[in-house]
Amino acid sequence: MADEILRVEHIGKRFGGVVALDDVNLSIGQGETCCLVGENGSGKSTLIKIISGIYTPDQGDIYINGHHYHKITPIESIREGIQVIYQDFSLFPNLTVAENIALNQQLSSGKPLVNWKTIHRIAAEGLERINVSLPLDAIVDTLSTADRQLIAIVKALLAEARIIIMDEPTTALTRKEIASLFKLINELKQRGISTLFVSHKLNEVTEIADRTVIFRNGQKVMDQSARGLDIKTMEFYMTGREIQAGSVDFGTVPQVESPLLKVEKINLSHGFFDVSFELRQNEVLGITGLLGSGRAELGLALFGELPVDSGRIWVEGREVQLKKITDAVAAGIGFVPEDRVREGLFLEHSINNNIIVTLVDRLKGRLRIMDRKRQAAESEKWIKRLELKTPSGELPAKSLSGGNQQRVVLAKWLAMNPKILILNGPTVGVDVGSKAEIHELIRTLAKQGLGIVIISDDIPELTQTCHRILLMRSGRLVEEFTRETISEERLSAELVGAVVPAGQ
């Protein structure tokens, strides 16, 4: 058994009346890749924040490198070799690559003056350690997500990290970049650096983990070697119940003369080229492809946010010009965006307000005065229909969990009675339980007459909801799969391309 670097014992933490962590014990050995899995609110983020010194535990002890702490400050945690890479990579967008890499060292050295030669030297050395080259004077703002993540990793390594904690690191990476990342993690492992990998993508967890730790409701419910641990078992422990993935009732798609949505030879420069397809009523159409394949742009184009340069679009047989979002909404198209916090929700406003925001113009009386009663009735209806868990619709939307927030965004569009609903990454950051429920909801909505487009790179999600799946590559539609021709393995292979995943 490798040397133990970090051990936490009997950690407890409450926020107000809510128990975030309950008697948690965890230990991480040297060179170990440990995956931390759990639904939103399971406590995994809280534990990370305690380890990195941002939160103080109410009970329990922390042992790092043999040193005992009851509570730890961020600086102490950093000095002990704990490096956390958050989803925003903790970078300064307005500073250069070199400065971002070397800044922490500058700070911990306590030197009041900055020697730029030293900064550049440190940065160059750091990049060399992981065999990557980036322009040292480039402003970080101008770099891609993958490059920024590399900078974050270099930072962590330079800080003599013994444990690198990565919080959902693969969210914005292409398949190829994910493979590179896993390769890097394994190299770090050889050098004795441990990785604590927080993720909800169970297929990645099986790929990279030595050990899997599962949290539920603030408690650790599983902690064992990742070998032999399959996704179904993980899901069971995460939710406490079995997810029936088995046979799903898909509903039939009636063959009608005119499709709900028809798209012919649409082009968007730097986005997609020569795309044509149809969507029928009662149908769920999936659009997938690597990041950068044009799938996201296609969704935004259909919603009017990125109007197409050329080509034609018909909705219910009538040709439409989707030059801005209001055009799309008028045509009966709704869009559930991927970044629901930034693009879908008004966090400080009440849940009710969020739900009726598209409807206000319809629920009004004379003089544009809002009809509060009808509004309340409408939002109540949707809270019930979508099983939104909240004590009151007047609470701000930010009080909800990820899954419930996604339901609010869905409710917002469903309340508008759209003909077509486009969903971009509908279950990103949503707990497993809600995920299955949202999929069932999608199938139900299709049966009720909607035409739904799902843009996703989550293959199980696509196979469980879609009647047809369109595959995009480099901006073009390259293949179409129907229920008969679909298979998870084939799609995975298509998405991965020729790159072999790390560790195999």
Residues lying near other proteins in the complex (CB under 8 A) are found at: 16, 54, 74-75, 78, 86, 88, 90-95, 99, 103-104, 106-108, 111-114, 137, 144, 146, 174, 268-271, 291-292, 294, 296-297, 305-306, 324-326, 328-329, 335, 337, 342-350, 353, 357-358, 360-361, 364, 367-370, 372, 392, 394, 396, 412, 475
- Side chain identity, residue 173: L
Residue 293 · residue 474 · CB < 8 Å: yes
In whole angstroms, the minimum distance from the beta carbon of 504 to other proteins comes to: 25
Q: Closer CB to other proteins, residue 191 or residue 366?
A: 366
In whole angstroms, the minimum distance from the beta carbon of 422 to other proteins comes to: 11
The two three-digit tokens of residue 87, written as one number: 């989803």
In whole angstroms, the minimum distance from the beta carbon of 493 to other proteins comes to: 22
Rounded Cα gap, residues 226 and 139, in angstroms: 40
Give 255-319 as a 3 state SS string.
CCCCCCEEEEEEEECCCEEEEEEEECCCCEEEEEECCCCCHHHHHHHHCCCCCCCEEEEEECCEE
In whole angstroms, the minimum distance from the beta carbon of 473 to other proteins comes to: 12
Q: Closer CB to other proteins, residue 75 or residue 478?
A: 75
Q: What is the DSSP pairing of strand 318-320 with strand 451-455?
A: unpaired
In whole angstroms, the minimum distance from the beta carbon of 207 to other proteins comes to: 23
Residue 25 · residue 220 · CB < 8 Å: yes
Q: Closer CB to other proteins, residue 348 or residue 484?
A: 348
Rounded Cα gap, residues 157 and 406, in angstroms: 36
CA within 13 Å, CB half, 161: 26
Q: Closer CB to other proteins, residue 112 or residue 246?
A: 112
E-strand stretches of 381-490: 420-424, 451-455, 468-473, 476-482
Rounded Cα gap, residues 7 and 133, in angstroms: 36
In whole angstroms, the minimum distance from the beta carbon of 116 to other proteins comes to: 8
Distances in Å between the Cα of 189 and the Cα atoms of 4, 13, 196, 209, 502 are 14, 31, 11, 11, 13
The two three-digit tokens of residue 285, written as one number: 């159409």
CA within 13 Å, CB half, 430: 24
Residue 388 · residue 411 · CB < 8 Å: yes
Q: Closer CB to other proteins, residue 40 or residue 267?
A: 267
Q: Which residues, other chains included, contact 112 with Cβ-Cβ below 8 Å and sequence gap of 6+?
A: none
Q: Closer CB to other proteins, residue 175 or residue 189?
A: 175
In whole angstroms, the minimum distance from the beta carbon of 326 to other proteins comes to: 6
Q: Closer CB to other proteins, residue 69 or residue 86?
A: 86
Q: Closer CB to other proteins, residue 291 or residue 486?
A: 291
Rounded Cα gap, residues 185 and 197, in angstroms: 10
Residue 128 · residue 158 · CB < 8 Å: no
Long-range contacts from 366-369, C-beta under 8 angstroms, 24+ separation: none
**Longest CA–CA separation in the chain, Å:** 75
Q: Closer CB to other proteins, residue 44 or residue 412?
A: 412
In whole angstroms, the minimum distance from the beta carbon of 348 to other proteins comes to: 5
CA within 13 Å, CB half, 487: 4
Q: Closer CB to other proteins, residue 31 or residue 57?
A: 57
In whole angstroms, the minimum distance from the beta carbon of 94 to other proteins comes to: 4
- Side chain identity, residue 48: I
Q: Closer CB to other proteins, residue 257 or residue 361?
A: 361
In whole angstroms, the minimum distance from the beta carbon of 271 to other proteins comes to: 5
Residue labelled with tokens 């800080």: 159
Q: Closer CB to other proteins, residue 35 or residue 156?
A: 156
H or E element in which residue 4 lies: strand 4-15
In whole angstroms, the minimum distance from the beta carbon of 173 to other proteins comes to: 10
In whole angstroms, the minimum distance from the beta carbon of 107 to other proteins comes to: 5
Please say whether the dihedral angle defined by the alpha carbons of residues 149, 155, 156 and 157, taken in this order, is positive or negative.
positive
In whole angstroms, the minimum distance from the beta carbon of 93 to other proteins comes to: 6
Q: Closer CB to other proteins, residue 360 or residue 493?
A: 360
